Every structure is written in C-alpha cells, then in structure tokens.
Amino acid sequence: MKKRRFAALLLALAALPFGACAGGGGNGSGAGSGGGAEPEPPAAVTRPLPYQYLAKFTEAETPAFEYADGYAYGGGSEIKAIEYRGADYMGLRTKVFAYIGFPAGASAENKVPAVVLVHGGGGTAFPEWVRAWNERGYAAISMDTEGRRPDRSRNGLNGPANDYLLTETKPLNEQWMYHAVSSVVLAHTLLRADERVDAGKTGFMGVSWGSVVSCVAAGIDNRFSFGVSVYGGGFLNEGSSGFSYYGISDASWALWEPSLYFPEVKADMLFVNSDHDTSFSPDITYKSARAVGGRHTYIAVHTHGQSEAMALTEPYIFADESVKGEPARARIESAAREGDWYRGEPARARIESAAREEGDWYRVTYSLPEGATLAGVQVYKKVLPIGYERAGLGYALPNEDFSEAKTPLMFDAPTGSFTFRIPWSARVVYFNLLTEKDGRIAVASSRLYDIEGAGQGAGNSG
C-alpha cells in the first residue's frame, strides 16, 4: 500500500507547475552565465519534477568566476581558490566557493581527465582532496555545497545550508538539494571548459551527503563518464540504517530520492561502503550498483568519515579503469552452491552444527585483468539479518557486525575458480576478491547472500 501511495504521489507531483508548493516555486532562473533472489532493477519511471529544471544547467554557459586569494592553498601552486556563479536563491545571485587544480604538465596539447569532488555533511571545499587527484593525473574541483567558505563565512555567497530534505513545501529553487545539484553540474561545466581537460573523460566522487547529491546529479548530467559514490546511493527510503531516521517525507522522496534518477545515468559507476555503516545500510549499496549497471565494493574495516573516504584507493583505481583503460579489479562471473541447494534442516541440528562451522560449499568463477594476480579471498558473515537500531538523528547501529568466516578455500587456477564453505550458522554472507596489479590492491565484492532467502543461486558482483 505504501509503495502505491508513493507512486501516485510521484505522478501527482509531476503534474505540478514549478511555482507550486510541495516542491514547486520560482521561475527556474539559474546560473548567471546560463538477498534472496536477485532484485530486479527499477523500471523506467516518470522523471521526477526537478529533472526538467536542473537539466537546463547542463546547457548553461560556463559560469563566471573570480579568484578568492584570501583562501589560497599553500600546498600546491596549481590549486586556486575561486568563487563561481551559482543558481539564484531567494531573488539573490549566489556564488559557490571552490578549490580547483590541475596536474603538472597539463596543457591544451596534453589534456587530462577531470573529477568533481562533492563533500559530505558538514564538510566544505577541500584543497587536499584536489591535490590528491592532481597527483594521480586528474584535474579536480572541490566546492562547498552548503553556501560557505572553509572558515564557515557566508557573506556574499547567498546560498542555502543543508536542509536534510525537510523543506519539500518550499519552491524547488529554495530547496538545498536544488542548489547542491546545480553547483555540481556547473562545476562540471567549469572544468570541461578548461583547455587542459579532456572533456570526454570527466567524473565525480561524492561522499555521504555528497554521494546523495552526486547520484542525483549523475541522472541530470549525462556528460559524466564515471562516478564514485562513497557510503550513499539510492533507495534511501528503503534502507534500514540511520538515513531512514531523518523524518524525510514521501513528498520529499518523490522529488529527491536518487534511485528515481538512476534510469538516466550514463556514467560508469562504483559504489563503495562498509558492511556496517551507520548511515547507509549495505543492502542499498548493491541495489544501487545493479540499478545503474555499475559495480560495488564493501570495505569491511572502513569507518564513516570525510578523511576516511579521501584515503580510499578504490576511487582512484576505478577512475583509471574507466578513463585510462587500466583494468585492475577481478570480475565475479558466477557464484553458486555446489550440489543440491540447501533448503534448511531442523533448527536443533542447525544450532548443533554451528559450533563446528559446518556448512554448504559454494563454487565461484572469476576472471582477472591482464597483469593482475589474485591476492586473496575474504568471506564475511553475520547470524542476524540486516537490521539497525536507532542511535540518533541520521545515525543507527547495526544489530550485529559482520565477522570474517574461518572457512577453507580450495583454488582451481586453471579454471579460474575456487570453492569455499558457508557456515550453517550464517544468515547473511558476502565475499571479496582482492587483486594485485602494479603494487595496488583492488577489491571486488559479491552481492549480499541471504541464506534464509528463497531461490538462492548464481550471483554476480555487478
């Protein structure tokens, strides 16, 4: 019943004019310059209301900008502080603060790929993040999506703060998400306009709230060729972790739920999350990846944070795979139970066998990129189904952490396969394949297997 109400609400909102409430308003003026069985991907849906207004930013002229020398970054002379023209807000012109930088040697004759960096909640523009990508051969821009500068000053910028999607009754162009998404699109335009950038090899990396923003932007702006979403993704209204406790209404989800924009995504995407994140549950990570035909990675020991996300190697490896033609990750071709599928045994026998870690055998086939070697296999399990207990606004604790399963592994290198045993004590299981190439370790994750679910069988990492 709830899903039918949500669909009906979406169709009703699509009929509203831009100036209506519950998500309408303004005139659209913009920049001054212009488990069990495999889940099915969502069917194409009517474009959400904001799409038609935000899509105009992809065709806008390159936004005007000026240097903000008072916020110069001393860590690299090629990284500049700027303020570029954003979307109008409450009748005022806005500016977006950002750091922008280019690798040494980048020129019109030696063009480089580029990336738009979208920070998480409470974050800002990070010059160190720009520098990290510059050092790996990418031009980069990191903007503040919350109408601030690094010292938290707002004067003269005029943009809104994060409203946590709780202002759905305001006009669209007075809602924070509208401005956050448009600032990403305009930053992308600004990067692509520079003669040193290869405009056909641009992407984004979003962290936490920035991953929510960038997932919407990916559906709006089909000029992106790759994207990395860290922690968040789509289907947030279905997840069981902390994000579900913000009190976001169905009306707001009908406007801004990222999965509604997934049918429009053209970028090659990677979703990265831990298996115990307090804000974004791991089940939506896989579901988001599958919905856009992308890939996903679970980092078992990772914790939630901006600096932690910036320290990940996976985004750089994936970007190189996407735009430099340097594949490094294994591909999971299939994963299926050996022999008859386990349908369950009496509970008492199951409990008794758990102490001995007995279980059923899985056979996994995989393929490796040229020059890569299989560096390891990790199997993780939990006894309880995926679930969370609220611990605060936007924060929840998992009912149980995953633990590494002590399981025998048998490899058959000539066939590119291995077998391992899933303990009967486990309810949810996933495995990681670690590959090594050129001194870097890349991780490919399977989907989450719900052992109690019906129809278990082959599954791909996506």
All residues at 6 or more sequence positions from 442 whose CB lies less than 8 Å from its CB, including other chains: 313, 314, 317, 328, 329, 330, 372, 434, 435, 436
Report the CATH number at residue 341: 2.60.40
Report the CATH number at residue 164: 3.40.50.1820
Together in a domain, 312 and 367: no
Q: Among 298, 323, 348, which residue terminates a domain?
A: 323
Query: Which position has the token pair 């991953």?
Result: 211
Together in a domain, 190 and 317: yes
All residues at 6 or more sequence positions from 220 whose CB lies less than 8 Å from its CB, including other chains: 51, 54, 55, 57, 58, 181, 185, 261, 264
More confident position, 327 or 360: 327
More confident position, 309 or 345: 309
For residue 461, is it within any domain?
A: no
Tokens of 362: 């899985």
Q: Among 323, 353, 382, which residue terminates a domain?
A: 323
Together in a domain, 232 and 314: yes
- Residue 226 neighbours by CB distance under 10 Å: 24
Together in a domain, 382 and 263: no
Q: Residue 15: what pLDDT?
A: 33
Together in a domain, 312 and 366: no
All residues at 6 or more sequence positions from 103 whose CB lies less than 8 Å from its CB, including other chains: 78, 112, 134, 135, 137, 138, 139
- Structural domain harbouring 373: 331-450
Q: Residue 341: what pLDDT?
A: 35
Q: What type of residue is 143?
A: M
Q: Residue 14: what pLDDT?
A: 36
Together in a domain, 287 and 216: yes
All residues at 6 or more sequence positions from 267 whose CB lies less than 8 Å from its CB, including other chains: 203, 204, 218, 222, 224, 225, 226, 227, 292
For residue 170, is it within any domain?
A: yes
All residues at 6 or more sequence positions from 331 whose CB lies less than 8 Å from its CB, including other chains: 366, 367, 368, 444, 461
Together in a domain, 114 and 21: yes
Together in a domain, 299 and 361: no
* pLDDT tens sequence across 113-136: 999 999 999 999 999 999 999 999
Together in a domain, 188 and 86: yes
- Which residues are registered as beta bridge partners of 226? 203, 268
Q: Tell me the helices (H) and strands (E) count for the chain, helix number first.
A: 10, 20
* pLDDT tens sequence across 17-35: 333 333 333 333 344 433 3
Together in a domain, 20 and 60: yes
Together in a domain, 421 and 291: no
* pLDDT tens sequence across 65-113: 999 999 999 866 689 999 999 999 999 999 999 999 999 999 999 999 9
Percent of the chain with pLDDT over 90: 71
All residues at 6 or more sequence positions from 185 whose CB lies less than 8 Å from its CB, including other chains: 54, 57, 58, 217, 220, 221
* Mean pLDDT confidence for 247-275: 96
Residues present in the chain in total: 462
Q: Residue 452: what pLDDT?
A: 66
Average pLDDT, the chain: 85
Torsion angles phi and psi, residue 334, rounded to 5: -160, 155
The total domain count for the chain is 2
Together in a domain, 17 and 148: yes
